[in-house]
Amino acid sequence: MVIAPVQIRPEARARIIDTLTTQKIPAEYGLRVGVKGGGCGSSWLLGFDLPGPTDDIYSVDGVRVIIDKRHLLYVLDATIGFEQTEEGNGFVVNRPGDLK
């Protein structure tokens, strides 16, 4: 059994599946999880994409997750959530030890 490198909270899973369905995104696509930038200036990369030759593909609670092998160490143990606030709503990613 392969252990998923990331977790997806139920509210995020619902939004992801809803987006895949309503936008009619083909089944070959998945949720790409990664980082962009480096050092203190890095940020999370989330979006729908096709897998490439350097990617690993995981099934996380029924969501196809694509992670570039070069990003795996940086995203390991991350939790993807979805928050609604007065400022707006969107996906959030946290790793153990992240400041809230």
Number of structural domains the chain divides into: 1
Binning pLDDT at 50, 70 and 90, where does residue 87 land?
A: confident
Phi, psi of 35, rounded to the nearest 5 degrees? -130, 150
Whole domain around residue 40: which residue ranges? 6-94
Give pLDDT tens digits for 34-70.
998 766 667 899 999 999 999 999 999 999 999 999 9
What does the pLDDT average to over 12-39?
92
Q: Is residue 83 part of a domain?
A: yes
Q: Is residue 100 part of a domain?
A: no
Q: Is residue 90 part of a domain?
A: yes
The yes-or-no verdict on residue 7 having pLDDT over 80 is yes
Q: Is residue 72 part of a domain?
A: yes
Q: Is residue 1 part of a domain?
A: no
Output the CA torsion sign for 33, 34, 36, 37.
Answer: positive
Question: CATH number, domain at 81?
Answer: 2.60.300.12
Element (H, E) at 44: strand 43-49
Q: Which of 17-21, 51-55, 66-70, 84-88 has the lowest mean pLDDT?
A: 84-88
Q: Is residue 80 part of a domain?
A: yes
Q: Is residue 35 part of a domain?
A: yes
Binning pLDDT at 50, 70 and 90, where does residue 16 land?
A: very high
Q: Is residue 99 part of a domain?
A: no
